[in-house]
Amino acid sequence: MTAAHLLGILRVEARTIYGRGSARLALVVALLTGVGALLAHQWIQGQAASIEANGAPVTQMIEFSGPAVAGWALRVRNFFVLPLVLLLATAASFAGEIGDQSLREALVRPVPRFVVLFSKAVVLGSLAALTLLASLIPSLGGGIALFGNEGSTTVPAVLLGFAASLLSDLGLIGLGLLASTFVRSVGGVVVSLILLLMADTGLRAMLKGMAWLGADWAEAVGRALPGNALACWEGWTGAWDPWAFGGMAVLLVSSYGLTAWRFQRMDVP
Amino acid sequence: MASDALVTRGLTRRYGGRVAIDSLDLQVKEGDVYGFLGPNGAGKTTAIRCMLGLIRRDGGEVEIFGERDPVRQRASVGAMVETPAFHTWLSARDNLRRACAFAGVGDESDIQQALDRVGLQGRAEEKVSGYSLGMRQRLGIARALVGRPRLLILDEPTNGLDPRGMREVRDLLLDLRRRDGLTILVSSHLLSEVEQLCSRVGILERGRMVAEGSVDELLDRAQTSVVEVDVETHDTAGLARALASIPGASPAGEGEGERLRLRLNGIGPAELNRALVNAGVPVEALIPVTHSLEELFLRLTTRELT
Ligand SMILES: Nc1ncnc2c1ncn2[C@@H]1O[C@H](COP(=O)(O)OP(=O)(O)O)[C@@H](O)[C@H]1O
Ligand SMILES: [Mg+2]
């Protein structure tokens, strides 16, 4: 393998993954979260001065600043839709290609399997990063232009939130790739990950119960489980959870490592 | 003496308890067009997948142009396995660009040449989703051609083609052999379509190689071990009676009017003639049957039934 060979593979893999509907959908949805957050703030400021909640105007309870708008864009982006679309793109490019046998074309070539996997992970990671930018640039840029930069939410804090979200996305992509070595259909991967995260939620509730009964270790373990690790970005508002990041490190190493190990030994007919 | 292009030794793959290919020894020499034959389910595709490293093997080894490393050996191979699959939302040309990138060699002119070779030059910018089965089959062959292979491994490449398409593929393979000096392994369950094409054939049955050699060698071997003759007589009842007492001769299939095909095992046509005349059968004609490879193929692969 030469560097030129690897670059060529990355280029065609990018063309393939970005050519899929799921990648375009991810970029469009991300852009909508950025622009939507901005427009929503503008609308509230303009129209809702008269709306009151608990005796005070709503506008006084909402922070109007660029970083605050970006923070809302990030919350909306990470709330369900975009992770699901990223998961779809991941499953389509791995489980889908195994299932419809188009992956075979890459595997009959003089390329080690881990390079095939690596190129997919890099391109999917770049897709995640681009969706973050598509959400960040209009919300932060537009927000600063419209509302300025004054407020309790700071630019560095919200930027860290976006950076941690990239980590969460990479973890999710890793899980999607790993599931693809078990289930050879896009729907199967999505369903199995949803089931996994539901089981994870149940387990965390159980661990919380044990912690409440006195088992000190149980709380920390629960916070390191994948469900909480994938939410590590939520700490940007002020309280980062080190256990979530520890869990994320374990998740990243084990999901990509296990995927590479399984893929190397797998029948891909 | 041509050197070896592809050699397998003891290649074995099991699915659960069932052996799909059993200790397969196969030898393709440089410059061969090798016909890899066998009825459906014989294990041709499984063997090809093992050679290409697509599936795990339970034993044996594969050598391609002397190279043993599974990744490096694929540098000299272009392959099409079963029905080719594509990224259907990309154009045919983009699919070949992918192949080129993964191969790590070749450029736009190689892609154009491959498209020309299979007659798709006019449709290269269309998305593959709009391609017919036959067009996909050709595109699969074109894809095997990019990456400048020395050995082509094609699994039933005429699948889904009409008779004219089949002919075109046959001509293309001959041309690739003659003009480009490629070595070709082509699998088929239809012997007639590779008989005129192949210099050597291997016949696979239930995962085992039952015969391997040049077409002429196999035919010779068939002639010396078992021979079939057509006997003509107006006394077919007498012939049937006489046969019961002639060891090594038995009817091969239904008779046709005054003509009956006999299979000889251990006796020659002359001995048969003498025995029939001694038994009082008026033999009017006794014609040794030359075998087509098709008959040999059927016989070798249905041995347990006969
Ligand atoms: N994934 C699989 N699981 C179980 N059995 C299989 C699998 N793939 C192939 N086989 C079996 O292996 C044998 C050989 O199949 P195959 O290689 O496709 O034959 P051919 O290509 O000669 O028609 C068949 O009996 C088939 O049922
Ligand atoms: Mg087959």
Which of A75-89, A250-264, B271-285 reaches the highest mean pLDDT? A250-264
Determine the atom of ligand 1 nearest the C-alpha atom of B48: 17
Place B105 in a pLDDT band, splitting at 50, 70 and 90. very high
- pLDDT at position B229: 84
d(CA A128, CA A168) in angstroms, rounded, equals 10
The structural domain count of chain A equals: 1
What letters, b where the CB count within 10 A reaches 16 and e where it falls short, cover A220-250? ebbbbbbbbbbbbbbbbeeeebebbbebbee
Which amino acid type is present at position B296?
L
Nearest CA-CA distance, residue B87 and chain A, Å:
7
Among the partner-chain residues A12, A104, A109, the one whose CB lies closest to the CB of B74 is A109
Protein residue closest via CA to atom 26 of ligand 1: B41
Cα–ligand 1 centroid distance for B188 (angstroms) = 15
- pLDDT at position B75: 97
Determine the atom of ligand 1 nearest the C-alpha atom of B42: 22
Average pLDDT over residues A53-57: 68
Cα–ligand 2 centroid distance for B40 (angstroms) = 7
Q: pTM of the full predicted structure? A: 0.86
Nearest CA-CA distance, residue B3 and chain A, Å:
22
| Burial label, A197 (beta-carbon count in 10 A; 0-12, 13-18, 19+) | middle
- pLDDT at position B240: 86
Contact B102 CB / ligand 1 (< 6 Å): no
d(CA B23, CA B29) in angstroms, rounded, equals 20
Strands B285-288 and B59-64: unpaired
Who wins on pLDDT, A80 or B80?
B80
Average pLDDT over residues A229-242: 92
Which of A38-52, A56-70, B46-60, B235-249 reaches the highest mean pLDDT? B46-60
Q: Tell me which H or E stretch contains B77.
A: strand B77-80
DSSP state of B54: S
Q: Residue B305: is its pLDDT beyond 80?
A: no
Average pLDDT over residues A108-122: 97
Q: Tell me which H or E stretch contains B304.
A: none
DSSP state of B291: P
Per mean pLDDT, which range of A178-182, B114-118, B207-211 is the poorest? Answer: B207-211
d(CA A239, CA A253) in angstroms, rounded, equals 24
Give per-residue pLDDT as tens, B22-41: 999 999 999 999 999 998 99
Q: Map residue B226 onto helix, strand or coil.
A: strand
Average pLDDT over residues B96-125: 95
Place A58 in a pLDDT band, splitting at 50, 70 and 90. low
Write the secondary structure of B94-107 as one string of H (helix), E (strand) and C (coil): HHHHHHHHHHCCCC
- Only one residue has tokens 């029948």, namely A267
Ligand nearest to the CA of B82: 2
Place B260 in a pLDDT band, splitting at 50, 70 and 90. confident
Residues of B in contact with A23 (CB under 8 A): none
Q: What are the tokens at A175? A: 């899980």
Give per-residue pLDDT as tens, B121-174: 999 999 999 999 999 999 999 999 999 999 999 999 988 788 888 888 899 999
Q: Which domains does chain B have, with CATH numbers?
A: 4-221 (3.40.50.300), 224-289 (3.30.70)
- pLDDT at position A55: 67
Query: By the 8 A CB rule, do A143 and A66 touch?
Result: yes
Q: Residue B254: is its pLDDT beyond 80?
A: no
Q: Residue B304: is its pLDDT beyond 70?
A: no
Contact A108 B56 (CB under 8 A): no
Interface test with A, best of B102, B127, B131, B143 (most A CBs within 10 A): B102
Cα–ligand 2 centroid distance for A87 (angstroms) = 34
Residue B184, Ramachandran bin (φ over 0: left; ψ between -120 and 50: alpha; else beta): beta
A60 touches chain B (CB under 8 A): no
- pLDDT at position B248: 82
Residues of A in contact with B94 (CB under 8 A): 12, 15
Q: Residue B189: is its pLDDT beyond 70?
A: yes
Q: In chain B, what percentage of residues exceed pLDDT 70?
A: 92
Q: Tell me which H or E stretch contains B202.
A: strand B200-205
Contact B85 A265 (CB under 8 A): no
ipTM of the complex: 0.90
Query: Considering Cα of A182, then A186, then A188, then A193, what sign does the dihedral take?
Result: positive
Q: Which domain holds residue A158?
A: 3-265
Question: Quick one: how far is CA B66 from the chain centroid?
Answer: 23
Who wins on pLDDT, A232 or A81?
A232
Q: Map residue B303 onto helix, strand or coil.
A: helix
| Burial label, B230 (beta-carbon count in 10 A; 0-12, 13-18, 19+) | middle
Q: Residue A228: is its pLDDT beyond 80?
A: yes
Per mean pLDDT, which range of A32-36, A139-143, A162-166, B169-173 is the poorest? Answer: B169-173
- pLDDT at position A53: 67
- pLDDT at position B225: 56
Contact B83 CB / ligand 1 (< 6 Å): no
- pLDDT at position A156: 94
- Mutate-to-test residue for ligand 1 from B12, B13, B15, B154, highest number of ligand atoms within 8 A of CB: B15
Q: Give the other-Cβ count within 10 Å of A199's Cβ.
A: 13
Average pLDDT over residues A193-207: 94
Q: Residue A63: is its pLDDT beyond 90?
A: no
Q: Residue B224: is its pLDDT beyond 90?
A: no
- pLDDT at position B302: 61
Rounded to 5 degrees, φ, ψ at A145 are -65, -40
- Mutate-to-test residue for ligand 1 from B18, B46, B190, B297, highest number of ligand atoms within 8 A of CB: B46
Contact A110 B75 (CB under 8 A): yes
Nearest CA-CA distance, residue B80 and chain A, Å:
8
Write the secondary structure of chain A as one string of H (helix), E (strand) and C (coil): CCHHHHHHHHHHHHHHHHCCHHHHHHHHHHHHHHHHHHHHHHHHHHHHHHCEECCEEHHHHCCCCHHHHHHHHHHHHHCCHHHHHHHHHHHHHCHHHHHCCCCHHHHCCCCCHHHHHHHHHHHHHHHHHHHHHHHHHHHHHHHHHHHCCCCCCCHHHHHHHHHHHHHHHHHHHHHHHHHHCCCCCHHHHHHHHHHHHHHHHHHHHHHHHHHHCCCHHHHHHHHHCHHHHCCHHHHHHCCCCHHHHHHHHHHHHHHHHHHHHHHHHCCCC
Which residues lie closer than 8 Å to A187 by C-beta, 6 or more apart?
none
Query: By the 8 A CB rule, do B98 and B49 touch?
Result: no
- pLDDT at position B306: 37
Average pLDDT over residues B1-17: 92
Among the partner-chain residues B49, B73, B102, the one whose CB lies closest to the CB of A105 is B102
Q: Map residue B14 onto helix, strand or coil.
A: strand
The CA-CA-CA angle for residues B140, B142, B145, to 5°, reads 115
Average pLDDT over residues B56-78: 96
Place B270 in a pLDDT band, splitting at 50, 70 and 90. confident
Residue of B2, B21, B25 lying closest to B12 (CA atoms): B21
Protein residue closest via CA to atom 24 of ligand 1: B41
Residues of B in contact with A22 (CB under 8 A): none
